[in-house]
Amino acid sequence: MHGAVKALLFDLDGTVYRGTDPIPGATVFIAGLAARGVRALFVTNRANRGPDEVAAHLTALGIACHASDVITSAEVAAAEVAGQEVFLVGEDALQAAVTTAGARLVSDPAAAEAVVMGFDRDLNLEKFVGATRAVLAGARLIATNPDVLVNREDGVTPGNGAFVAVVETATGARAQVIGKPEPAIVALALARAGVAPDEAVMIGDNLDTDIRAGQRAGLRTALILTGVSTAAAAAAFSPSPTWTVRDYEELSAALFG
């Protein structure tokens, strides 16, 4: 038996917006949730934007949002390395999350207890060298997310998963993945909303990350066909999403009748 829906967890890119434009129907659907007593939270694998920045982006699109409604992979990674010596590959938002959690950033690979890797637009050979040496010296390798490609307005670019694969190949280590499809980021969202898994639904456009993460965390899931995954892929996916919907009109009907 499932409880009444008390929280919806949304992926962002491809689910709520695409680039600078909201997905058709998303703004109206999300705006109507409060009247139903349903909390909206936004769960993103991106670690290079902080919750404040994400909330401001959503608000600019017409979706009322506070930083506390946003859960990023950076926050989960930061909790994982709290109090440790960390060699960091990533941008300012990841650095802020990690240091706020009490980790200490080190430049000497031999001093690192953990290597945390997130998407980094200033990635260079020396950062790869440092991460590789730290892992070979015994540091844990932690990836904020496994996404191998990132969509930009001018096309795709290699993502964090591709960067992490370089260090994995060089060291023979396997990274501990923090973001979707692993369930830790979903568990943090549930804790923030104060709801049980059977009272929440994970909504996303990617079977391999969004839907799998929701399933692993014990949630019902809704694949919305506005982004990465197709209806044919959903039909072949096991276990199947609870719902597969074309758009927000169908999502509303599926969840609320």
Catalytic residues: 11, 13
Q: Which two tokens stand for residue 190?
A: 């549930």
CA atoms of 111 and 137, how far apart (whole Å) = 9
CA atoms of 68 and 55, how far apart (whole Å) = 9
Instruction: Specify whether the CB–CB gap between 95 and 88 falls below 8 A.
Output: yes
Task: For the chain, state the CA radius of gyration.
Answer: 18
Instruction: Specify whether the CB–CB gap between 245 and 224 falls below 8 A.
Output: yes
Instruction: Specify whether the CB–CB gap between 123 and 89 falls below 8 A.
Output: yes
**Kind and range of the H or E run holding 212:** helix 212-216
